[in-house]
Structure 1
Amino acid sequence: MKIDVILPCLNEQDALPWVLQRIPPGHRAIVVDNGSTDDSARIAADHGAHLVTEPHRGFGAACHAGLLAATADIICFMDADATLDPGQLPHLTWPIATGAADLVLGRRTPPPRPPHARLANAALAAHLRRHTGAPLHDLGPMRACRRTALLDLNLTDRRFGYPLEMVLKAARAGWRITETPVRHLPRRGRSKVTGTVRGTMRAIADMRRVMTETA
């Protein structure tokens, strides 16, 4: 069974070697360079990853470019910042492969450390439980599903609302959504989103827009 792992990337030269070295057998890393000014692209290529360049900035733009480049039946998304271990991916892909679930999210343990990020994530998860019925506690960046099914959802957000739109539209389409615990590691460098209150607020604004548009 072949599985593609989509890794949106913006200036992650310090984290990429560790991440790519831990991609499990049978999994192909697709690194989507979203305008890096460091050596991320070269490092990705040197480590055998399939490199995609997405000039339009935005987390969703990078994710979607990776989705379009993927060819495997099962795909995964995860951050390239070494906060999550790719070795845990089989815990997410097995329920997809066996037909037990349609979308599996990794529930980060422990949760993100900055208080503003933890509160925002908890509030968002509560909203998702109320509106989708899915037993989610974390809108985690590690997730797995089937490629063609995700393409059929026709996701349109190209910013930080992409992961939320995926869950909302999947629930609307009747997908079975679940989560599994994954170990959350200290980040190498400061996060572009949760590392600052401004970044978190920008992500919240994007997600509020997505919730309004998909209501």
Structure 2
Amino acid sequence: MSVKENGTYGPGPATVDVIFPCLDEEEALPWVLRRVPPGWRAIVVDNGSADASAEVARGLGATVVSEPRKGFGSACHAGLLVATAEVVCFCDCDASMDPARLTDIAGPVLTRETDLVLGRRRAERGAWPLHARLGNTALSLLLRRRTGLRLRDLGPMRAGRREALLGLRLTDRRSGYPLQMVVAASDAGWQIRERDIPYLPRTGKSKVTGTWRGTWHAVRDMRAVLRQPPPAPAESPSAAQNKRADTS
């Protein structure tokens, strides 16, 4: 599937890789992988699963990457390093987010309307525990103080350009990875946008935000990211594109 000049999608070479960090998700994977948009490649990063997640993913046609170093960020970045498409998406593989909605998330990146798109979760009843929601709200406020961005969610479904994301030189390998991506992108002057997505009750037991302890660890990791000084800025994808156009 490729994006046409008018922003619609049609047959053509795959332009998007979808990265799924995975830890013991064999129950959810069949539904998740069958919802990936046609023509897009699913990259499942097995982060030390004790179940048959890797075998299930391979059987469903996904590219499977093994990342033994524990941590959400480790899995996400391993997928980014393996990806080859111009645009990459990130999505949880616990069935709480519908990969079919990734066309809405990736669309503005494919058409170069913006640099990074985040899925803003609109939760169904019972899908988002109160402690996780409160933690997300607190971090959004801290992010606003740090960057000026008025984002209402820091959810993991997102899309950006692969080379530009690598240029951010992200270093967090735990739960702070998604936040560090947003902070670094803001520091680099990227255009960042939110789009609503449904947030569904997950399949199986949560490893992070399903418990108070998991939420506390995630918030701790993310607060550490916000305390870091800004790195040398990477050029925004939009600015780089304009520079190439001016010199051609």
TM normalised by structure 2 equals 0.84
CA apart distance, 1:134: 2.6
Equivalent positions of 1:200-215 (< 5 A) are 200-214=215-229
Amino acid at match of 2:212: V
* CA displacement 1:21-68 (0-9 Å, x = unmatched): 110012100000000000100000000000000010100000000000
Moved over 4 A (4+): none
SS in 2 for 1:205: helix
User: What RMSD over aligned residues (CA atoms) do the two structures have, in Å?
Assistant: 1.1
Q: Percent identity?
A: 59
Match of 1:159 in 2: 174
Match of 1:105 in 2: 118
Of residues 205-214 and 58-67 in structure 1, the stretch that sits farther from structure 2 once superposed is 205-214
Of residues 70-79 and 117-126 in structure 1, the stretch that sits farther from structure 2 once superposed is 117-126
Equivalents in 1 of 2:27, 2:218: separation in Å?
Answer: 24
Tell me which of 130, 141, 149 is aligned to 1:115: 130
Amino acid at match of 1:38: D
SS in 2 for 1:199: helix
Contact 1:83 / 1:185 at 8 angstroms: preserved in 2? Answer: yes
* Structure number with bigger Rg: 2
Amino acid at match of 2:165: L
Match of 2:210 in 1: 195
Equivalents in 2 of 1:205, 1:128: separation in Å?
Answer: 14
Equivalent positions of 1:37-76 (< 5 A) are 37-76=50-89
SS in 1 for 2:74: helix
Tell me which of 132, 147, 165 is aligned to 2:162: 147
Tell me which of 116, 127, 131 is aligned to 2:146: 131
CA apart distance, 1:135: 3.1
Match of 2:90 in 1: 77
Equivalents in 1 of 2:23, 2:121: separation in Å?
Answer: 21
Match of 1:14 in 2: 27
Equivalents in 1 of 2:118, 2:21: separation in Å?
Answer: 17
Equivalents in 1 of 2:69, 2:172: separation in Å?
Answer: 12
CA apart distance, 1:132: 2.2
Match of 2:11 in 1: none
CA apart distance, 1:123: 1.1
Contact 1:165 / 1:214 at 8 angstroms: preserved in 2? Answer: no
Equivalent positions of 1:21-40 (< 5 A) are 21-40=34-53
CA apart distance, 1:131: 2.6
CA apart distance, 1:127: 2.0
Equivalents in 2 of 1:179, 1:26: separation in Å?
Answer: 24
* CA displacement 1:117-175 (0-9 Å, x = unmatched): 11010111122233323331000110000000000000000000000000000000000
